C-alpha cells in the first residue's frame, strides 16, 4: 500500500519535517539573543554562530523537502499547491468544515493543510535563501556592504513571516492534540504507523 492511500506520511518526510521544525525553532529563538559580529559579546556571539548553523541546516532541509515532494512522494507538489479543480475543492471543503468547527484531516492528500504547509515551506525557503546569501557576504567583522543591505531587510521581513507561521503551526498542532486527533502522531518520526 502507498502512503497516500493509508493517509500516513512516509518515514523520510516525517524525519524531514521533524528536522526542519527543530532547526527553524532553534534559529528563531536564537535570533532573540544574538547580535551581529562586531556588536556581539559573549553569549550574543555564540547565539549568532548557532543561528547561522541552524539557519543553514533549516535551509538545507527545506531544499531536501522540496526535492522529496517534487519527486512525487507523499502527495507530491499537488499536496503543497493544490491548484487544480480537485485540489481547490478539497481546500474549500476544509475551509467550510472549519467554519462548522471541524478541523481538516492531515495527511498526504490535497486540501488546506497541504496548502498551508506549502506556503510555510516557501516562506522558510525564502528566509533560508536570504540568510544563506548574508552568510556568504557578511565579513567576519560584521556589517554587510551597503549594496547588499537589502538582504538583511528581506531576511527580517521573511523572519517575521516565519514567526507568524511558527505560532500558527504550533497552535494548530496543539488544537488537534487537544481534540484527540492523531495528526501529530502521524507526522512524528518517533511513532510507528
**pLDDT tens by residue, 137-183:** 987 777 788 899 899 999 999 999 999 999 999 998 888 888 888 78
135 and 49 in contact (C-beta within 8 Å)? Answer: no
Which pLDDT does position 75 carry in this prediction?
Answer: 86
Q: Is residue 158 part of a domain?
A: yes
Task: Give φ, ψ of 158 to 5 degrees.
Answer: -65, -35
Which pLDDT does position 4 carry in this prediction?
Answer: 40
Q: Is residue 193 part of a domain?
A: no
- Total-model pTM: 0.86
Q: Percent of the chain scored above 70 by pLDDT?
A: 93
Q: Which residues contact 65 (CB under 8 A, 6 or more apart)?
A: 13, 16, 17, 20, 121
CATH number for the domain harbouring residue 20: 1.20.950
What is the C-alpha to C-alpha distance for residues 183 and 174, in angstroms, rounded to an integer? 10
pLDDT in tens, 115-133: 999 999 999 999 999 999 9
- Is pLDDT at 60 greater than 80 in this prediction? yes
What is the C-alpha to C-alpha distance for residues 170 and 127, in angstroms, rounded to an integer? 19
pLDDT in tens, 10-25: 999 999 999 999 999 9
Q: Is residue 192 part of a domain?
A: no
| Residues spanned by the domain of 38 | 3-187
Structure-model confidence comparison of residues 61 and 191, the more confident one: 61
Structurally, how many domains does the chain consist of? 1
Q: Is residue 97 part of a domain?
A: yes
What count of residues does the chain have?
Answer: 193
What is the arithmetic mean of pLDDT over 64-93? 91
Contacts 24+ apart (CB under 8 A), 130-136: 130/154, 130/155, 130/158, 131/52, 131/55, 131/56, 131/59, 131/155, 132/55, 132/56, 132/59, 135/52, 135/55, 135/56
Closest CA to 75 of 26, 114, 29: 114
- Is pLDDT at 6 greater than 70 in this prediction? no
Amino acid at each position: 500500500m502507498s502512503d497516500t492511500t493509508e493517509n500516513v506520511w512516509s518515514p523520510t518526510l516525517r524525519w524531514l519535517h521533524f528536522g526542519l521544525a527543530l532547526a527553524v525553532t532553534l534559529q528563531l529563538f536564537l535570533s532573540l539573543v544574538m547580535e551581529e559580529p562586531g556588536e556581539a559579546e559573549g553569549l550574543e556571539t555564540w547565539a549568532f554562530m548557532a543561528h547561522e548553523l541552524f539557519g543553514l541546516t533549516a535551509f538545507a532541509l527545506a531544499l531536501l523537502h522540496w526535492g522529496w515532494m517534487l519527486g512525487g512522494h507523499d502527495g507530491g507538489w499537488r499536496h503543497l499547491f493544490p491548484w487544480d479543480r480537485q485540489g481547490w475543492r478539497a481546500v474549500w471543503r476544509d475551509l467550510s468544515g472549519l467554519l462548522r468547527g471541524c478541523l481538516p484531516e492531515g495527511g498526504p492528500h490535497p486540501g488546506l493543510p497541504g496548502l498551508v504547509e506549502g506556503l510555510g515551506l516557501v516562506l522558510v525557503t525564502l528566509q533560508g535563501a536570504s540568510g544563506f546569501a548574508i552568510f556568504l557576504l557578511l565579513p567576519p567583522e560584521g556589517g554587510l556592504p551597503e549594496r547588499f543591505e537589502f538582504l538583511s531587510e528581506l531576511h527580517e521581513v521573511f523572519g517575521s513571516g516565519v514567526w507568524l507561521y511558527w505560532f500558527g503551526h504550533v497552535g494548530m498542532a496543539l488544537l488537534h492534540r487537544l481534540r484527540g486527533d492523531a495528526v501529530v502522531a502521524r507526522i512524528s518520526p518517533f511513532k510507528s504507523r
